[in-house]
Amino acid sequence: METLINIILLTFLAIIAIAITRIRHLLVTVVLTGMFSLLSASLLVSMDAVDVAFTEAAVGAGISTLLFLSVLALTSTEELAGNRKFSSIAFILVSITGAILIYGTLDIPKFGDPSAPVHHHIAERFIYESPDEIGVPNMVTSVLASYRGYDTLGETTVILTAGIGVLLLLGRGKQDKETD
């Protein structure tokens, strides 16, 4: 049943991705992008990656959609007619890159395989030694707050910097309108 749900979610993701590339109305594209992020978060939840799903929902569906809508308030809602030949070349390049990435995943272990290399050395340390090393009984909390503390700090810094940059850009647009 879980595999069927994953296949359905992946099918919806593929349909939405194709729709995003074909639609010229930018507001619809932004809404579809938010839907894509929410479906990605749902897929991550079904694969038991709740912490990553929460981040995807908050950043991908929440903040990114809000920032895109803010930018749309300053621009046109229709995409200008572009060079369709360039669009076709870009689609072909993206398809080739996707095929190469899929080929690169063919030799990875199956999802949840207990004999996968990732489960051999570091996982046992996190399971058995993190309560003594960190003093936190919850293994996920100890990994995210201590072992990956710098990584979490870096992610937070990137999000903060992106938010400040967008706010500066939006503020600059208001000043340009006031001087007109």
Tell me the chain's radius of gyration from C-alpha atoms.
21
Judge whether residue 34 has pLDDT over 60: yes
Residue 14: band (very low, low, confident or very high) from pLDDT cuts 50, 70, 90: very high
Give the Cα separation of 139 and 126 in Å (integer).
Answer: 7
Tell me what the mean pLDDT of segment 30-57 comes to: 88
Q: How many CB atoms lie within 10 A of CB 58?
A: 14
- State the pTM of this model: 0.58
Q: Which secondary structure element, helix H or strand E, spans residue 66, and what is its range?
A: helix 64-74
Give the Cα separation of 73 and 180 in Å (integer).
Answer: 17
Tell me what the mean pLDDT of segment 37-63 comes to: 85
Residue 179: band (very low, low, confident or very high) from pLDDT cuts 50, 70, 90: low
Enter the DSSP assignment of 111. T
Q: Which of 34-48, 49-63, 99-113, 166-180 has the lowest mean pLDDT?
A: 166-180
Give the Cα separation of 128 and 132 in Å (integer).
Answer: 8
Residue 81: band (very low, low, confident or very high) from pLDDT cuts 50, 70, 90: low
Alpha carbon distances (Å) from 119 to 50, 123, 172: 19, 5, 50
Judge whether residue 177 has pLDDT over 70: no
What residue segments make up the domains of the chain, in order of their start? 1-82
Residue 66: band (very low, low, confident or very high) from pLDDT cuts 50, 70, 90: confident
65 residue type, one letter: T
Q: Do 136 and 145 contact (CB within 8 A), yes or no?
A: yes
**Residue 10 confidence (pLDDT):** 92
Residue 165: band (very low, low, confident or very high) from pLDDT cuts 50, 70, 90: confident
Which pair of structure tokens corresponds to residue 97? 């890159």
Please give the backbone phi and psi of residue 110, each rounded to the nearest 5 degrees, phi first.
-65, 155
Residue 127: band (very low, low, confident or very high) from pLDDT cuts 50, 70, 90: confident
Please give the backbone phi and psi of residue 25, each rounded to the nearest 5 degrees, phi first.
-80, 115
Residue 128: band (very low, low, confident or very high) from pLDDT cuts 50, 70, 90: confident
**Residue 83 confidence (pLDDT):** 57
Burial of residue 130, with CB atoms counted within 10 A of its CB: 0-12 exposed, 13-18 middle, 19 or more buried: buried
Q: Do 137 and 145 contact (CB within 8 A), yes or no?
A: no
